């Protein structure tokens, strides 16, 4: 790895910045829903969810809370699990390309495959959070016994 990349990855600011960017599509969507609950409710009604306002609020909360847990790296496994589950459910409930034909099916297929990648990213986020914590714990233990 080039030393400039290694130095960037080793800075204190890069990991939280990366977590903010990783979760952008979720917290951005959640904040947009809260900023315009009528539009969020209309979106939920369009997809057949009822009661749409309650579903919109719950979706926004899952998106924001899940993102926050990852960004602050506290219970990141839970935040990643929330967002991965939400993303998986959107494939099943909204992007069900197998029930469509023509251009709609193709578009929703591509969105669904992108969502699978996002689920993988949430798995990596949980994994890296755990490994980082394990390393920090081991370093503290080593320092205390040295």
Consecutive 10-residue runs of the chain (146 residues): their mean pLDDT?
A: 93 94 98 98 97 98 98 96 98 96 96 98 95 68 68
Name the residue range of residue 27's domain.
Answer: 3-145
Looking at residue 126, what is its pLDDT?
Answer: 96
- On whether the CB atoms of residues 97 and 105 are closer than 8 A, the answer is yes
Looking at residue 139, what is its pLDDT?
Answer: 65
The helix-helix angle for 14-22 and 24-35 (nearest 10°) equals 60
Looking at residue 142, what is its pLDDT?
Answer: 64
* pTM, full prediction: 0.87
Q: Please tell me the distance from the alpha carbon of residue 77 to that of residue 80, in angstroms, as a whole number.
A: 5
Looking at residue 77, what is its pLDDT?
Answer: 97
Q: Please tell me the distance from the alpha carbon of residue 14 to that of residue 89, in angstroms, as a whole number.
A: 31
Looking at residue 1, what is its pLDDT?
Answer: 87
Q: Of 51, 25, 37, 36, which Cα lies nearest the Cα of 114?
A: 25
Q: Count structural domains, the chain.
A: 1
Which stretches within the chain are classed as H helix? 3-10, 14-22, 24-35, 37-46, 52-71, 76-93, 102-145
């Amino acid at each position: 790895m080039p030393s400039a990349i290694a130095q960037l990855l080793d800075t204190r600011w890069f990991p939280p910045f990366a977590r903010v960017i990783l979760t952008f599509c979720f917290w951005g969507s959640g904040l947009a829903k809260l900023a315009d609950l009528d539009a969020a409710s209309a979106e939920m009604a369009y997809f057949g969810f009822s009661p749409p306002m309650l579903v919109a609020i719950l979706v926004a909360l899952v998106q924001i809370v899940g993102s926050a847990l990852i960004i602050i790296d506290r219970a990141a496994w839970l935040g990643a699990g929330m967002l991965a589950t939400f993303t998986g459910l959107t494939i099943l409930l909204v992007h069900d390309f197998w029930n469509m034909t023509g251009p709609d099916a193709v578009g929703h297929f591509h969105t669904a495959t992108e969502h699978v990648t996002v689920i993988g990213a949430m798995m990596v986020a949980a994994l890296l959070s755990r490994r980082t914590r394990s390393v920090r714990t081991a370093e503290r233990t080593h320092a205390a016994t040295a």
